[in-house]
């Protein structure tokens, strides 16, 4: 892998080219990063770029920036030598044309680089060259290996002998009846291969039991399987004859008092930065940076073939790298603005995904309404929201991440989960899986996400209050027993701020600014309203609880540190655990009136239904951020009455 001849020129051309510290990396800058890193002698023919992205400046640097100020552009790269597994963490300044840090990763204690696309592809060749694996497949009556689809899956860390420090994947397999047949309907269960990616060999084969390979097909793109398409749905068109109400300039979006910057990271996917709301003449900050910092999908089947199934879709697979190119009229409907994404591939070259992020407006029903019995006045206003979204496909699942901004200052994140359930052979009366077809099972599992919300409610001095609804005993001040009230508890240190939702008490958390008061003299704030679904259900002793400790609490609050970006730690792949939020919070820093980050775990438990096969109708989870005392009155009184021709 030698630098392209034009990379040095590209490096010179890109110095200082970005107009803002948070501007997304351009293709020219990716070329420049590659030239700089390779010119420093860090790259061999077997070196791959497992990760390359903008190294964002600190919050203080960004907030101090003024248009026209010089901008230093830095990148971080994780370099993996696929020939020997050596991994280096590199920090380089494009502006100064220098590599500023090179650190070799201890892949035993510090985790492995994210999984490369070429490693997924290599697995097919590796297992099909292994005599033991081929014999195990043949024992199940399968003779045409060209139709077998080995499925490479992250290995995790379970303290198994000889695995620590080894770069591995674990491989379950499926079979297609013919090339266009969807293999998810035909799992080859009871056998799993443990693959060493550096040695390119199967280091352990577990052939546990013979189970039937389900035969029924489930091809969602085959008219003979789907059946006649209904003809009763009339066209539904979204029209904005005067165009949308938003404006976009250099990735900065303004819409109905909202203002924020679009970012995109190969690990986190869509990132929203510097979210603010214009209140009268004041532009008021709310969130400095919002992203999905991690997600984990733990499975419930404890069998020798499947006990290890736990996937970190951000840290292991790079959520953003798997982003879809969206299609107008299918993925997005209406007056759409698209943002393309530029990322580096395994060779360090820029890869552009068109239409990676979709933005549009939606009508959202009634905003507020009142018919007054005394004055006989009738007033109705309609709500609308700005939608910013992207879709990513990680193996069998497809995930849509939808950020919503409402006229009244509310922010929501909704995750839409669809795609294909991971299948197994069904064992009668299994306590770990649902039956979704003849001989076909779908193991129980969870989807758990960590949203990292770098809060900035009216400034940098924020705090978090926990509010619970409280019942009051009858008697005394409550003689008739009808009273109820609420408790308010300030979370003052990180050790106090690892909290669990309590739906029965309507528990919410208020992020407030003790130095900014509303007109009634109370701190302004935003409420984090959780859905309160179950946290990680694995037993306390399970390895996954060490690795995904973030998912054992709905709320964590930490002091801002630019190095603390990821809920499960930096290099998650095959990490033994203990990194991320537990390590951050163990510092027990003050979080009362400080620059804080709020981390929220949310998600769902999936007990698959018959209706989830062969493709899952969208299921959702998420959370809401609502202003509480942030405004001095309803901020939507100035929303005009609808002028739609349908409103008479």
Burial (Cβ within 10 Å: 0-12, 13-18, ≥19) of residue 341: buried
* pLDDT level of residue 281 (50, 70, 90 thresholds): very high
Higher pLDDT, 176 or 334: 176
pLDDT beyond 50 at 2: no
pLDDT, one tens digit per residue, over 480-519 is 999 999 999 999 999 999 999 999 999 999 999 999 999 9
DSSP 503: G
The span from the CA of 8 to the CA of 31, in Å, is 9
3-state secondary structure of 127: helix
* pLDDT level of residue 13 (50, 70, 90 thresholds): very low
Q: What is the pLDDT of residue 1?
A: 36
3-state secondary structure of 78: strand
DSSP-derived pairing of the beta strands 484-491 and 337-344: unpaired
Mean pLDDT of 434-460: 98
Q: What is the pLDDT of residue 4?
A: 40
* pLDDT level of residue 10 (50, 70, 90 thresholds): low
Q: What is the pLDDT of residue 402?
A: 98
Q: Nearest Cα to 597, choosing from 291, 270, 388? A: 291
For residue 602, the tally of other CB atoms under 10 A from its CB is 22
Q: What is the pLDDT of residue 328?
A: 86
**CA distances from residue 469 to 366, 496, 508 in whole angstroms, order as listed:** 28, 20, 9
Is 444 in contact with 423 (CB distance < 8 Å)?
A: no
pLDDT beyond 70 at 6: no
Q: Catalytic residue numbers? A: 313, 397
Q: What is the pLDDT of residue 7?
A: 52
Mean pLDDT of 212-217: 97
Q: What is the pLDDT of residue 487?
A: 98
Q: Look over the chain and give the mean of its residue pLDDT values, rounded to a whole number.
A: 95
The span from the CA of 218 to the CA of 222, in Å, is 9
pLDDT, one tens digit per residue, over 307-328 is 999 999 999 999 999 999 999 8
Torsions phi, psi of 35, nearest 5?
Answer: -60, -40
pLDDT beyond 80 at 8: no
Measured N-to-C along each axis, helices 7-14 and 27-39 cross at an angle, to the nearest 10 degrees, of 120
pLDDT beyond 70 at 648: no
Percentage of residues in the chain with pLDDT exceeding 70?
97
Mean pLDDT of 186-190: 98
Q: What is the pLDDT of residue 5?
A: 41
pLDDT beyond 60 at 35: yes
The total number of residues shown for the chain amounts to 648
Q: Nearest Cα to 412, choosing from 390, 392, 448, 387? A: 387
Q: Which CATH class is domain 7-104?
A: alpha beta
pLDDT, one tens digit per residue, over 556-574 is 999 999 999 999 999 999 9
The span from the CA of 632 to the CA of 634, in Å, is 7
Percentage of residues in the chain with pLDDT exceeding 90?
94
* pLDDT level of residue 329 (50, 70, 90 thresholds): confident
Boundaries of every domain in the chain? 7-104, 117-226, 248-627
- Determine the distance from the C-alpha atom of residue 469 to the mean position of all C-alpha atoms in its chain, rounded to a whole number: 31
Task: For the full predicted model, state whether its pTM sits above 0.75.
Answer: yes
For residue 464, the tally of other CB atoms under 10 A from its CB is 24
3-state secondary structure of 102: strand
The span from the CA of 14 to the CA of 30, in Å, is 10
Higher pLDDT, 355 or 645: 355
Most distant CA pair in the chain: distance in Å?
Answer: 86
The domain defined by 117-226 folds into: Nuclear Transport Factor 2; Chain: A, (3.10.450)
**DSSP code per residue over 344-373:** E-TTS-EEEEEEEEEEEEEEEEEEEEEE-T
pLDDT, one tens digit per residue, over 104-141 is 999 999 999 999 999 999 999 999 999 999 999 999 99
The span from the CA of 51 to the CA of 19, in Å, is 24
Q: What is the pLDDT of residue 564?
A: 98
Q: Which two tokens stand for residue 147?
A: 């139709």
Q: Which CATH class is domain 248-627?
A: mainly beta
pLDDT, one tens digit per residue, over 530-560 is 999 999 999 999 999 999 999 999 999 999 9
* Those residues with Cβ within 8 angstroms of residue 35's Cβ, 6 or more apart along the chain or in another chain: 3, 4, 7, 8, 10, 11
Task: Please measure the distance between the N-terminal and C-terminal CA atoms of the chain and give it in whole angstroms.
Answer: 67
The span from the CA of 169 to the CA of 152, in Å, is 6
pLDDT, one tens digit per residue, over 138-168 is 999 999 999 999 999 999 999 999 999 999 9
pLDDT, one tens digit per residue, over 332-362 is 888 999 999 999 999 999 999 999 999 999 9
Same fold, 7-104 and 117-226: yes
- CA Rg, the chain, in Å? 26
**DSSP code per residue over 223-246:** HHHH-SPP--PPP-----TT--S-
């Amino acid at each position: 892998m030698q630098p392209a001849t034009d990379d040095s020129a590209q490096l010179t051309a890109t110095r200082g080219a970005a107009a803002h510290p948070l501007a997304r990396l351009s293709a020219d800058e990716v070329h420049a990063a590659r030239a700089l890193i390779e010119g420093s002698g860090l790259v061999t023919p077997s070196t791959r770029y497992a990760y390359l992205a903008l190294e964002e400046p600190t919050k203080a640097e960004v907030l101090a920036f003024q248009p026209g100020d010089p901008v230093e552009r830095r990148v971080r790269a994780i370099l993996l030598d696929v020939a020997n597994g050596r991994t280096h963490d590199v920090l380089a300044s494009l502006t100064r044309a220098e590599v500023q840090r090179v650190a070799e990763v201890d892949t035993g204690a510090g985790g492995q680089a994210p999984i490369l696309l070429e490693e997924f592809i290599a697995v097919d060749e590796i297992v099909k060259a292994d005599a033991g694996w081929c014999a195990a497949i043949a024992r199940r009556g399968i003779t045409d290996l060209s139709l077998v689809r080995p499925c490479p899956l992250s290995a995790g860390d379970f303290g198994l002998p000889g695995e620590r420090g080894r770069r591995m994947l674990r491989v379950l397999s499926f079979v297609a009846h013919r090339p266009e047949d969807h293999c998810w309907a035909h799992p080859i269960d009871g056998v799993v291969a443990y693959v060493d990616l550096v040695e390119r060999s199967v280091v352990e084969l577990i052939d546990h039991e013979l189970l039937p390979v389900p035969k029924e097909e489930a091809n969602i793109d085959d008219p003979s399987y789907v059946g006649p398409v209904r003809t009763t749905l009339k066209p539904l068109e979204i029209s904005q004859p005067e165009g949308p109400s938003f404006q976009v300039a250099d990735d900065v979006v303004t819409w109905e008092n909202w203002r924020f910057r679009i970012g995109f990271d190969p690990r986190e996917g869509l990132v929203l930065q510097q979210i603010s709301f214009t209140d009268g003449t004041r532009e008021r900050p709310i969130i400095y940076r919002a992203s999905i910092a991690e997600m984990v999908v733990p499975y419930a089947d404890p069998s020798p073939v499947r006990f290890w199934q736990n996937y970190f879709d951000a840290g292991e697979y790079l959520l953003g790298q798997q982003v879809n190119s969206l299609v107008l009229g299918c993925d997005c409907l209406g007056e759409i603005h698209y943002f393309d994404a530029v990322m580096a591939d395994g060779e360090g070259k820029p890869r552009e995904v068109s239409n990676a992020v979709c933005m549009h407006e939606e009508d959202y029903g009634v905003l507020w309404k009142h018919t007054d019995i005394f004055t006989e006045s009738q007033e109705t206003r309609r709500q609308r929201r700005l939608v910013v979204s992207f879709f990513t496909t990680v193996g069998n699942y497809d995930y849509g991440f939808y950020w919503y901004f409402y006229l009244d200052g509310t922010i929501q994140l909704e995750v839409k989960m669809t795609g294909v359930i991971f299948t197994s052979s069904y064992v009668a009366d299994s306590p770990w899986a649902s039956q979704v077809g003849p001989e076909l099972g779908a193991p129980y599992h969870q989807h758990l996400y960590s949203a990292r919300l770098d809060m900035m409610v009216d400034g940098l001095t924020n705090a978090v209050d926990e509010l619970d609804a409280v019942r009051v005993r009858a008697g005394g001040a409550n003689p008739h027993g009808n009273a109820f009230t609420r408790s308010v508890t300030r979370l003052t240190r990180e050790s106090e701020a690892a909290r669990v939702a309590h739906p029965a008490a309507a528990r919410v958390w208020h992020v407030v600014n003790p130095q900014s008061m509303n007109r009634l003299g109370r701190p302004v704030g935003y409420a984090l309203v959780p859905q309160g679904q179950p946290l990680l259900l694995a037993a306390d002793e399970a390895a996954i609880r060490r690795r995904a400790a973030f998912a054992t609490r709905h709320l964590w609050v930490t002091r801002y540190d630019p190095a603390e970006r990821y809920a499960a730690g930096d290099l998650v792949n095959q990490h033994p655990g203990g990194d991320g939020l537990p390590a951050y919070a163990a510092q027990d820093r003050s979080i009362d009136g400080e620059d804080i980050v709020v981390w929220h775990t949310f998600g769902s438990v999936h007990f698959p239904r018959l209706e989830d096969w062969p493709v899952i109708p969208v299921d959702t989870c998420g959370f809401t951020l609502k202003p509480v005392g942030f405004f001095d009155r309803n901020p939507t009184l100035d929303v005009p009455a609808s002028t739609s021709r349908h409103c008479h």
